[in-house]
Chain A
Amino acid sequence: MGGRSIKKIESKYRPYILLIPFIIFIILMLGSTSMIEQSLGYNNQEGISSITFKYYEEIIFTKVFLESIVYTIYISVVPTLISLIVGIYMGIAVHFNIKRKNRLNNIIQIPIIIPYTVYIFCIILILMQTGIVSRSVMNLNIIDTANDFPLLIYDKFGVGIIMVYVLKQVPFVYFIIISSLSNMDRKYIDVALNLGSSKIQVLREIVLPYLRNSIMTAFFIVFAFNFGSFEAPFLLGNPKYNTLPVLSYKYFISSDIDKRSYSMVINTIMIIAVVILLHIYIKYNERKNRRNYEKR
């Protein structure tokens, strides 16, 4: 009896114990940069030691900030959805149609290894108005000058940013899907097909519900990354539309040092947003697990 309860406690706290190094790291990181303190107006160097929410109030209701939130959500949701759709399609198509996929998988792995900045650089060379695509089109006499080529980077809709994200994240989603599918019991599908289900029905009723957890995981990981990512929107974005990280950077490098507090406010808000998202994800998983448990 006693032994069992100890085990119970152990298993209850085990995840947290294993997470200690990570938690220490996070605390050190937040502590040493004194980000949250600075966002509250607490600043060692200038001897200001009272806490104020002034900076939060000053920035949260500005048009720039609100627009930035909308744009950040746009620039993180759209590529996430595209990557998910393409990645899931690819995963399912490859899993059920190709027997020997080792070599194929090796090739699809390549984009995961290549850093984002390299991707961004390539996208610039390919898509800019004097880039490879534009030059080819010019040589075919479809357009006369480079300025006639549509703007695909630094543009309003963030085409370049979305392309970088999609190219990089489709393989990621693909591998999540593939590894999940390889653990799937084929029996369900065979039975369904035997009983006269169409392929579409199998996909809808068996494969997609089976993949639901993996899809949610992929969605949260990819979305959280896109939400906080800096380099692609910074290097490929239109200066009119700033994502939150870019806005934060702008305030941080402002020649007026007091504006740095705004930068810290934005960073704090982003961390809170990601924590909330994580919470939703954990709650979702818990509910899901409980339901599975009850079903059994």
Chain B
Amino acid sequence: MKKIITVLLSVLLLSSCGKEGVAKEEVAKEVVRFYGWGGDSNVNNYLDDYIAPLVKEKHNIDFIRVPMNIDEILLKLTNEKEAGVDSGDIDIMWINGENFYNAKKIGLLSEPFTTSIENYSKNIDLNAEFANMDFNTPIEGLEVPWGLARLVLIGNTNKIDELPKNSMELLDLVKENKGMMTYPALPDFTGSAFVRMIMNDVLGEEVMANLGYDKEEIRIKLMPAFDYLNELEKYLWMNGETYPKDTGVINKMYSDGQLLFTLSYTALLADRKVLEGEFEEGTKAFIFENGTLGNAHYLAKPFNVSNSEGANKVINELISFEAQIKKMDVNGWGDLAVLDMDKLNDEEKEIFKNTSGSDILELETYSEVDAKQIAIIEELWEEEVLRK
């Protein structure tokens, strides 16, 4: 009797083991899990309604989008790394900037994989800065550019005759219209970028490229820009006594007619908001003649990716010509494409040129300072502008 039970039990145990192993393999082949910020329904709809059916049809892959903020993703991966989990849930993650820097430093990313993505060399200018550096961190094949962002100012042309072309013209205009402009308090991402754009315009790229890391030295180097910002502050909303928390508040104030300007890291935001009727007709995005700040966002794979090949296929689709043009649709997400005009064929060129937003991509971008310097600039802004 005992024997029989033992045999039965072991058979049961073995069979269940086998089943589980097989099932896991099958599932792993079909599913690609995309982890990234899920706070914008336009982005989510693009992935769920366009990308997911596309990869299902072409590669029979189930595309699962898991909304999670990047800091939580990195925390999850850090924990998994410490616990020695070789096969995680994340196949693709959406990342850039300091998070990429940290992930690379701690070793949370997969082996370099960009060469195995067909569309990478086919569609993207490999000499472009965004293909090689992510906020001054060398990319080294660890992530694939997915989209571009440009900081734009947005102005109401019904009330302004001529949009300002540099920081001095902006100051004059704000002086004439007291209290009609503001920007988000740093360390808000967009506010921080706006301040760096002003610094580039006031001081020149040369100074910004050689800031160094000593806080007091940086303070001296940036002083003319802080003087400018303090001068500007006198004519800002509430005389600069307070600054809004984020661009959401500023957009609301702009659409209520309380401000003449707003600003955004989404270059096509103005177009979309006009379409939606939130901003009044005549709202136009613009940048200074010397250029603006830009950055790119990327797709990467974690060190413990479980479906590496599936992830490659999906990433390849995400940077295909069609998917990138669809991504630029103002009615949808409205995110700038990473496509290189010179690499496209004539028909594609025509389509790309007629997509709104492609003109913004032709303008100059300043190179970015790195994460450590950004933190110092934000501290200095608090000391020299906010608390002065």
Interface residues of A (CB under 8 A from B): 44-46, 64, 129-130, 145-147, 151, 154-156, 234-235, 238-240, 250, 253-257, 259
- Measured in the bound complex, the distance between the Cα atoms of B241 and A160 in whole Å is 16
Instruction: From B166-174, B275-283, B330-338, B367-375, give the one contacting chain A.
Output: B367-375
- CB <8 Å contact, B387 and A235: no
Nearest residue, chain B, Cβ from A242: B382
Task: Please provide the chain B residues from 97 to 131 with a CB less than 8 Å away from any CB of chain A in the complex.
Answer: 97-98, 102, 105-106
Establish whether residues A259 and B258, one from each chain, have CB atoms under 8 Å apart when the complex forms: no
Binds A, one of B197-205, B242-250, B354-362: B242-250
In the bound complex, do residue A239 and residue B386 qualify as a contact, i.e. CB atoms below 8 Å apart?
A: yes
Q: Is B179 an interface residue (CB 8 A)?
A: yes
B186 to nearest A CB, angstroms? Answer: 8
- Residues in A with CB closer than 8 Å to B102 are 257
For residue A257, which residues in chain B have a CB less than 8 angstroms away from its CB? 98, 102, 371
With A130-B258, A257-B98 as known contacts, state yes or no: A151 contacts B375, CB within 8 Å. Answer: no
Contact of A250 among B71, B187, B244 (CB under 8 A): B187
Cα distance A45–B108 when bound, in Å? 10
A-B contact pairs, 25 of them (CB 8 A): A45-B78, A45-B106, A130-B252, A130-B253, A145-B258, A146-B256, A146-B258, A147-B237, A151-B241, A151-B242, A154-B243, A155-B242, A156-B241, A239-B243, A240-B242, A240-B387, A250-B187, A253-B71, A253-B187, A254-B378, A255-B98, A255-B371, A255-B374, A255-B378, A256-B376
| Contact (A44, B82) CB under 8 Å given A250-B187, A255-B98, A256-B375 | yes
Known: A255-B97, A256-B372, A259-B375. A151 touches B238 (CB 8 A): yes
A235 x B245 contact (CB < 8 A)? yes
Q: Shortest Cβ distance from A76 into chain B, in angstroms?
A: 21
CB nearest neighbor in B for A151: B238
Residue-wise, chain B 156-191 has the 8 Å CB interface mask toward A (1 for contact) of 000000000000000000000001000001010000
Cβ distance B13 to chain A, nearest Cβ, rounded Å = 32
Measured CB to CB, the nearest residue on chain B to A256 is B375
Task: Tell me, rounded to whole Å, the shortest Cβ–Cβ distance linking B64 to chain A.
Answer: 27
Asked if A240 contacts B386 (CB within 8 A), the reply is yes
Q: How far is the CB of B184 from chain A (nearest CB, A)?
A: 9
Chain B residues numbered 68-102 whose CB sits less than 8 Å from any CB in chain A: 71, 78, 82, 97-98, 102
